[in-house]
Structure 1
């Protein structure tokens, strides 16, 4: 059979050896030998060219190997949802017993979680994908960043993540620790800011409290609010705050701070990470300056 007909029977050039044999290809593996025109992806799965597979071809081959009913979870599902996740392993959930191969992880799930079509592939919810991805991470910072991205992009809620992390699936300890330590899904920088604030023993601030003026007009929701002196601390992460139109909103926020007489310290996450001593000095100096002038007539209207 001509290669064009084989490609028509394949999915993105991925095809099973069973299908190839039914189409008259007696020895598919011979064409997958070194220098051959095809390549073996997994046992029983062939790619009809010998160049580098695309991510979609990788995932198609993995699902074909896993069999009917398999769904994508973990880091590959996170990426399908638009989240940063770097693990190369493809993690699939399957309804029955199955064996993985190489970087393919096949895990039996009972019951199978709900999934939806994302770009032509069956993908679990964002919350399930994030928790499963965290199961294969070893870095608290990586797990915190992934959880933060999921929540701050409003792809899932902290409660949805907690529900997934409370299950008995092996390896959810890291995800549970991140959610417990943070109290809410936040960025690595915000977590570091909390630690620094405790270390320099400033008045314990409100975190992510909504601040309003005397007339009730909402001014902002700073990352940290030192209510005793009326000082705001903003961790202005480019990753989360400087997307489309966010720069304009940041300028408007700072104008509202100025109009209300609020001092504000703005810190980049890179400085918080690389120069915490310098940030601590700046924060303490700002706190002294705020304490030396009359406190503005503002108040907390909501604390999370």
Structure 2
């Protein structure tokens, strides 16, 4: 078996590649450096330093943000079990074996995702790292371990395993008491196109955070921001794909009869309506009965409105903000098809159209 050659102090003083500047005790042993020798090099005035248990930075200068991130992952990491859900059985070309199942989350992850409202990746007092719930390891120094029954499938950002935006947001706001900071993070998530409001609310619900005072107003603002963005995407889809101009944001009502509901776009000659489905997602099984009942009531109202309109001959097209963002051309085809098929349908009942 070929062994790694021993490392010399001159070779390891400062390397261009951070992976050669920050190593775990196990990685050093693989290169022939014993624990005693590593400890000796970390003494006062020595060429190395030990920022975390079992992790060494192979130079005496200030530890950089990237080195802090890597050292946090090496401290929390271990080799993944083959075939475990959410973790590759073999490391990919950009994945370090020493990171194992450790995943950067919280504010550090948001900074890596490009959030302006988050601090630089490793400058906060702590770096949140997701690990499996079964890991027998403690938070130490600037590393705060976040335990999860099933860690999310990480994204590779700058060669580091990073939690998806919605999970990183939930872990970040769980540790924030400042309502303004929470609102800025949630707003940037949607306005910056990082993720859809529904995904954020779903993750906050899973983490049982929706009842916190600093999140209540922020989530309402998030959903309002998401609806405004979805409406703008709908405008762009109609105009950029040459669809006829509809009546925007109108209420439909039977003459002298009941209110039929509001629609986001309506083509009166074809009797085609578009409704943006911006409902918050169904809450998890961990939520209380009241939240599930609210969601079910909201869905029932959507279904009743659609059924009533279609009985009157109005075709209702439901579009989701995510599909408008990711597949605008396909959604335009869906609307165009509904408009073209109007000629083959029975004329719709007369409805009154009122501004909303």
After TM superposition, give the deviation of residue 216 of structure 1 in Å: 5.5
After TM superposition, give the deviation of residue 124 of structure 1 in Å: 1.1
> Are positions 1:91 and 2:128 aligned together?
yes
After TM superposition, give the deviation of residue 207 of structure 1 in Å: 7.6
> Are positions 1:16 and 2:24 aligned together?
yes
Q: Secondary structure at the match of 1:56?
A: helix
After TM superposition, give the deviation of residue 10 of structure 1 in Å: 7.5
Question: RMSD in angstroms over aligned alpha carbons?
Answer: 3.5
Q: Which position in structure 2 is the counterpart of 1:37?
A: 47
Identify unmatched segments of 5+ residues in structure 2: 1-6, 78-99, 236-243, 249-352
1:94-153 deviation per Cα after TM superposition (whole angstroms, max 9, x unaligned): 123221102211122111112111110011111111121111112100010111111101
Of the candidates 107, 118, 121, which is equivalent to residue 75 of structure 1?
Answer: 107
Quickly say closer, same or farther: Cα 1:115–1:169, change in 2 above 3 A. Answer: farther
Counterpart Cα distance in 2 of 1:108 and 1:137: 18
User: 1:131 touches 1:172 (CA, 8 Å); kept in 2?
Assistant: no
Counterpart Cα distance in 1 of 2:38 and 2:188: 44
After TM superposition, give the deviation of residue 173 of structure 1 in Å: 2.8
Quickly say closer, same or farther: Cα 1:42–1:127, change in 2 above 3 A. Answer: same
User: 2:170 touches 2:207 (CA, 8 Å); kept in 1?
Assistant: no
User: What number of residue pairs does the alignment pair up?
Assistant: 203
After TM superposition, give the deviation of residue 179 of structure 1 in Å: 3.9
User: 2:178 touches 2:214 (CA, 8 Å); kept in 1?
Assistant: no
After TM superposition, give the deviation of residue 3 of structure 1 in Å: 2.6
After TM superposition, give the deviation of residue 19 of structure 1 in Å: 3.2
Greater Rg, structure 1 or structure 2? 2
Question: Which stretches of structure 1, 4 residues or more, deviate above 6 A after TM superposition?
Answer: 7-10, 206-210
State the TM-score, normalized to the length of structure 1.
0.57
User: 2:54 touches 2:75 (CA, 8 Å); kept in 1?
Assistant: yes
Identify unmatched segments of 5+ residues in structure 1: 188-205, 220-298
Q: Secondary structure at the match of 2:19?
A: coil
State the TM-score, normalized to the length of structure 2.
0.50
After TM superposition, give the deviation of residue 181 of structure 1 in Å: 3.7
After TM superposition, give the deviation of residue 63 of structure 1 in Å: 0.6
1:8-53 deviation per Cα after TM superposition (whole angstroms, max 9, x unaligned): 8981401122333451343312221222211111001010011111
Of the candidates 158, 161, 177, which is equivalent to residue 119 of structure 1?
Answer: 158
Of the candidates 44, 69, 72, which is equivalent to residue 62 of structure 1?
Answer: 72
Of the candidates 5, 9, 27, which is equivalent to residue 3 of structure 1?
Answer: 9
